[in-house]
Amino acid sequence: MWAKSNGGAGAWNSPVTSRHDLNPDSKGYLIYDSQPSGVWTFWSGNGTRNGNWQIGWPKVKLGQWQHIAIIYDNATETKKLTLRGNLKGSTKELVAPNDKTPFNIGSGSDYGTTYHFEGLIDDVAVWNNALTSREIRNVMNNGVPRGAPAVVGFSASPPLIRSGGDRHLSWEVLRADSVSITPGVGSVAGASGQVVVSPDATTTYTLTAVGDSTPNATAQLTVGVDVEAMPLVLSEFVADNQNGLTDADGDPEDWIEIHNPNPFAIELEGWSLTDNPLRPDKWEIPDPEHSRRRIPDRFCV
């Protein structure tokens, strides 16, 4: 994180805190701007022992932005503190994870109600692994990564084509620097878009989104060419349910489960259910946005 301290009359102002300190049953970690002594400190809880301080405390420069990182390597039980990407202290100590109290930005104590940080804070980020000094400097110089990319949707329309026919592949991704579709398409532009493909045979396409963080995101779909679709199966049906699963309002849920045995998606837009053969469209399957995205060879509720 970046922090610019304005000091303060009290001691132990904290820009970041995740602490559960029952002393001696202490857990978690925090960063202190320990005015009036004027140093950055790394407190951590180590189970049944009292919390401990990080050695080699670097000085707080009032009114100046400083980049501070604390690192804990669980494999080696080693905790470190860096300033502007440079190691300022390291010691072997167990840090017990805090699973009791919230993560607080801009304040200290277990619930963030006291020891408020006097100054400005930016680019606070938490990783689930111990970063190297090089990785920390990269974050310091380039900012916090956006996180791993994600595929929101990858679909094809129409679901089946004949040889020589066209099919539209549509995609939507998040946090991606580059997007590609294989085989035969290559790189595509934009976080969302559409391309036309004309496969000669049934083909499985793979969408790959690459961002500034791992892992890459992928999705696949199959285009059926010159094939007949197997019929969908209504594999489960629940109506007028009085117990079991409930919805967000607390009411028992009704549902239908449809199995698509095909390796390619089937659009459900326009499909309907009925208990009256004279009214085949009595209950139309809702939400065409979702009905266009039937997962191949899967069950859908």
Q: Do the beta carbons of residue 126 and residue 70 sit within 8 Å?
A: no
Peptide bond into 24 cis (omega under 30): yes
Gap between the Cα atoms of 106 and 15, Å rounded: 4
Which phi and psi angles does 95 have, rounded to 5°? -115, 115
Total-model pTM: 0.63
- pLDDT of 293 reads 47
List, edge to edge, every strand of the sheet that includes 178-182: 160-161, 217-225, 203-210, 178-182, 186-188
- Give the domain 2-142 fold: Jelly Rolls (2.60.120)
Find, among 125, 264, 266, the residue nearest to 202 by Cα.
Answer: 264
- pLDDT of 300 reads 64
Per-residue b or e along 111-139, where b marks 16 or more CB atoms closer than 10 Å to that residue's CB:
ebeebbbbbeeeeeeeeeeebeeebbbeb
Residues 271, 272, 273, 274, Cα dihedral to 10°: -130
- pLDDT of 292 reads 47
Segments of the chain assigned to CATH 2.60.120.200: 2-142
Segments of the chain assigned to CATH 2.60.40.2470: 150-225
Q: Do the beta carbons of residue 147 and residue 210 sit within 8 Å?
A: no
- Kindly give the parts of the chain with pLDDT less than 50: 290-293
Q: Do the beta carbons of residue 17 and residue 108 sit within 8 Å?
A: yes
Per-residue b or e along 271-286, where b marks 16 or more CB atoms closer than 10 Å to that residue's CB:
eeeeeeeeeeeeeeee
Find, among 97, 85, 58, the residue nearest to 1 by Cα.
Answer: 85
Which phi and psi angles does 288 have, rounded to 5°? -60, -25
CATH number of 150-225: 2.60.40.2470
Find, among 27, 30, 35, the residue nearest to 1 by Cα.
Answer: 30
Helix (H, G, I), strand (E, B) or coil at 49: strand
- pLDDT of 235 reads 84
Residues 6+ apart with CB under 8 A from 182: 205, 206, 208
CA angle 146, 134, 51 (to 5 degrees): 85
Burial class of residue 232, CB neighbours in 10 A (0-12, 13-18, 19+): middle
Residues 6+ apart with CB under 8 A from 39: 57, 58, 59, 60
